[in-house]
Amino acid sequence: MVNEKIVNVKMKALRNYLDKIKPNFEEGGKLHAFHSLFDGLETFAFVPRTTSRVGSVNIHDAIDSKRIMSFVVIALMPALFFGMYNVGYQNALAAGKLAEATFWGMFWYGFLAVLPKIIVSYVVGLGIEFVVAQWKKEEIQEGFLVSGILIPMIVPVTTPLWMLAIAVAFSVILAKEIFGGTGMNIFNPALITRAFLFFSYPSAMTGDSTVWVNQQSILGLGFTAPEAYTAATPLGQAASEGFAGFDCPTICNAVTGLIPGSIGETSVIAIALGALLLLWTGVASWKTMLSVFVGGGLMGWLMQALGLTQIEWWHHFVLGGFAFGAVFMATDPVTSARTECGKYVYGLLIGIVAVMVRVLNPGYPEGMMLAILLMNLFAPLIDYCVVERNISMRAKRATKK
Amino acid sequence: MTKVIKLRKGLDVNLKGKPTDEIGQVKCPGEYALQPDDFTGLKPKVVVKEGDKVLVGDALFVDKLHPEVKFTSPVSGVVSLVERGDRRKLLSVRVKCDEKQEAKSFDVKQDVKALLMESGLFGFFRSRPYDVVANPEDAPKAIFISAFNSMPLSQDFEIALKGQEKEFQAGISALAKIAKVHLGVSAKQTSKALLEAKDCEVTVFDGPAPAGNVGVQINHVSPINKGEVVWTLGAEEVIFVGRLMLTGKVDFTRIIALAGSDVKFPKYYKVLVGQKLNTLLDGQIEDNGHHVRIIDGNVMTGLKTTEDGFLGAHKTEVNVIPEGDDNAEMLGWIMPRFKEFSTSRSYFSWLCGKKREYTLDARIKGGERHMIMSGEYDRVFPMDIFAGYLVKAIIAGDIDRQEALGIYEVAPEDFAIAEFVDSSKLELQRIVREGLDVLRKENA
């Protein structure tokens, strides 16, 4: 009770302070150049007080895009934290000192390895968002809160920060802002970042070199690997070497996530936790998510039945970025199909194309990124077909009489 | 056997301050006002001067394009003010009422349509497409009447109907002479006057709001195609017609609901169209120290007004809720916010069940964004129309696509619940109203 009172007093003080400095940021104020920054911070601290205008609905649901985006970020946390731990684990494994490493030692090592990427991603991306918002005299849009955390999670841990910065800037400007910002973009900005890195700096992103494991110690934490250690992802191995299916340890490790790979994509268990939250809150569509798995499973089964691959159909789900893509990328409401029927088709095709790229294209061991980007492009076409049915039904009804 | 249509899509918001069945008395106010803006799309022409004496049923203003369509005074007395705004736009015509109310007599033997135009009741018709005041030259394919309002804190029509059953039936029988009449009834309604109404086709609708919207009912019974016209009339306005047919005099008495979390004793009141709201609200608003919003109409579709405002012509309720602009709520994006209502499970209102009553204020509770989430509108839009795509076509100004997607079938009020749940906080009703206005101008 006393605590609550103190919070209340502090809250009032902050509110009053914000009200006091607010005029400086308004049109003509001396700090007007930072208007969008102030506005962004103010609406994060307090629920906006604006009330509805005459002629629009008088009451509103409490949901807003800040809440939705925050819940996606929360849903990403298990995968992120596990990813940090796995970075430390892979480092210890590379150094051959797994027995000496402690849980927290490995976690903090991974934390230090990943944190700079998160900071770079947010600083560059949000910086551009603030500038654009200021320029267009709009409010800051929250979309990048999600993209900004997704980006570090879908790149190898060794990606240089400067590359990341360029890629983030490229995708925020050319994949999002030129289309009109969050809600108007055609492609998922996080995946565009990854695609940009993938095609511009292939040596830093391919699966058969040293990129997946951080081999230097950071601030005394972790270990420096004695010699250049190569660790390919299981999918990379399958694509490059003579291969007769996965054995149990690889698959078990793929489920828990103790395999090399992009930071956030490895643990199926951590991703499943996030998926549960997204589905429960209704932020992600179960229709899209389910049909990605159905499509991938069908295609995996077909490929195996035709003798084109030795990989079991369900191994595709636990390896590489399939699960991560299905849960966090395919379900992006903006770039996914928007009609309910369209979501089934959209998801199904992502699963099919992802496995097709994995199996049939020797150059790309991972197909999820390309599959989702390709279907992003086709989502409006899928919706067009669904909406067109409604339109032709209406036209027929009019001419029938 | 009456046809029952079950609707699954929609949303009932359970708000605090529902009216009790009691009917209260109000003071007789000095002044009444008829406001042309209540009759969407009307170009009014005033036919009285300040100081003129008028009877109940005497014209105050007429439709400039169809002068035979009159808009008549609800009271007898002296015209006290012809209020004009920017560019001399007519805002209202006010009448100071006298002691004994004298009503003009009409000849009920004449053609029904002519009688309604003469007596001021025709102006209450709305026509779809466009949801504007009806044009007497049109030949409507049907007249639709919704006998219930499903929006939160709205009037229960059965209370207004009690004792007026004969008038209601007389009204329907009169309307049936103009076109086929469809009556939409709620599954919860039991009144025989509704379920066994003659001279009309009764359809029962079972589902959450906006099932009571006449637009939803039209879409399920006989959807409007391009080139067709449908007229709609409020259920209480049918009683007005019935009174006229039975007595030869107009009587604009309504039973309206005064409801909302900031009303001390929410209940029903017997009032006249154009009643000054302070006669209703005096001493009725809770004094909690916060700002209040007075709404002419219900929380979903009504217009913000003040105590000095007047009851709108079509309005069947007045709601009072907190304004909320003095509220400093912190970190809304992450706090549990147990007091808030949301359809999203990222809040906890799903835990509290449907019985819990909420006090919602008028804050928008978020910033306006582009459409981000998909399918939000469709979940609460019980028509065979892609609401999100239609809204996008309106924003883009693509008239061909609006037509193809079914804009002729909708009215702004049909989007009210969608606007309530929208996480991007777009002003859908305003967007649709402006879209319809542009389309009407283009097609004229």
For B257-288, the DSSP string reads EEESTTBSS-EEEEEETTBBTHHHHTTTB---
For residues B39-57, average pLDDT:
93
Average model confidence (pLDDT) across chain B: 91
Whether the pLDDT of residue B27 is over 80: the answer is: no
pLDDT for A191-223, tens place per residue? 999 999 988 888 777 755 567 777 777 777 777
Q: Judged by CB atoms within 8 Å, which residues 184-243 of A form the interface with B?
A: 184
Tell me the pTM: 0.91
Q: Judged by CB atoms within 8 Å, which residues 2-61 of B form the interface with A?
A: 13, 15
Q: Do A391 and B404 touch (CB under 8 A)?
A: yes
Q: Name the strand (E) or helix (H) holding B132.
A: strand B132-133
- Would B40 be classed as within a structural domain? yes
Give the residue from B221, B247, B273 where a domain finishes: B247
Most confident segment among A156-160, A237-241, B346-350 = A156-160
- Would B321 be classed as within a structural domain? no
For residues A136-149, average pLDDT:
85
CA–CA distance from B260 to each of A16, A395, B19, B151 (Å)?
A: 30, 43, 8, 12
- Would B303 be classed as within a structural domain? no
- Would B56 be classed as within a structural domain? yes
Residue A254, amino acid: A
Alpha-carbon gap, residue A143 to A333, rounded angstroms: 11
Set of chain A residues whose Cβ sits within 8 Å of the Cβ of B428: 56-57
The residue among B13, B370, B414 with the most chain A CBs within 10 A of its CB, best to mutate, is B370
CA distance B225 to chain A (A): 5
Count up the domains in chain B and report the number: 2
Chain A CA closest to residue B343:
A61
Q: Do B367 and A391 touch (CB under 8 A)?
A: no
Alpha-carbon gap, residue A305 to A359, rounded angstroms: 13
Alpha-carbon gap, residue A184 to A187, rounded angstroms: 9
Considering only CB atoms, B370 lies closest to which of A54, A184, A401, namely A184
Q: What's the pLDDT at A91? A: 85
Q: What's the pLDDT at A111? A: 92
Q: Which two tokens stand for residue B410?
A: 């909708």
Determine contact: B346 vs chain A, CB below 8 A. yes
pLDDT for A319-345, tens place per residue? 888 999 999 999 999 999 999 999 999
Output the DSSP codes for B189-249: ---HHHHT-SSSEEEEEESSTTTT-HHHHHHHHSPPPTT--EEEEEHHHHHHHHHHHHHSS
Q: With bands split at pLDDT 50, 70 and 90, how would you rate the model's confidence at A134?
A: confident
Work out the burial of residue B64: count CB atoms within 10 Å of its CB; fewer than 13 is exposed, 13-18 middle, 19 or more buried: exposed
Place of tokens 């030129």: A178
Q: Which domain covers residue B429, as residue numbers?
A: 378-443
- Would B294 be classed as within a structural domain? no
Q: Do A61 and B421 touch (CB under 8 A)?
A: yes
Residues B241 and B388 in one domain: no
Q: Tell me how far apart the 2 most distant CA atoms of chain B are, in Å.
A: 67
Cβ atoms of B184 and B148 closer than 8 Å: yes
Place of tokens 């993209």: A147
- Would B316 be classed as within a structural domain? no
Give the residue from B195, B216, B247 where a domain finishes: B247
- Would B181 be classed as within a structural domain? yes
The residue among B317, B346, B400, B429 with the most chain A CBs within 10 A of its CB, best to mutate, is B346
Determine contact: A334 vs chain B, CB below 8 A. yes
Set of chain B residues whose Cβ sits within 8 Å of the Cβ of A11: 328, 330
Q: With bands split at pLDDT 50, 70 and 90, how would you rate the model's confidence at B19?
A: very high
Considering only CB atoms, A66 lies closest to which of B333, B362, B416, namely B333
Whether the pLDDT of residue A241 is over 60: the answer is: no
The residue among B341, B423, B429 with the most chain A CBs within 10 A of its CB, best to mutate, is B423
Give the residue from B195, B228, B247 where a domain finishes: B247
The residue among A56, A141, A177, A389 with the most chain B CBs within 10 A of its CB, best to mutate, is A56
Residues B72 and B217 in one domain: yes
- Please report which residue ranges of B296-427 form alpha helices under DSSP H: 387-396, 399-405, 416-421
Measure the CA dihedral A130/A134/A138/A140, to 10°. 10
Whether the pLDDT of residue A315 is over 70: the answer is: yes
pLDDT for B390-403, tens place per residue? 999 999 999 999 99
Cβ atoms of B124 and B190 closer than 8 Å: no
Dihedral sign, CA of B125, B127, B132, B135? negative
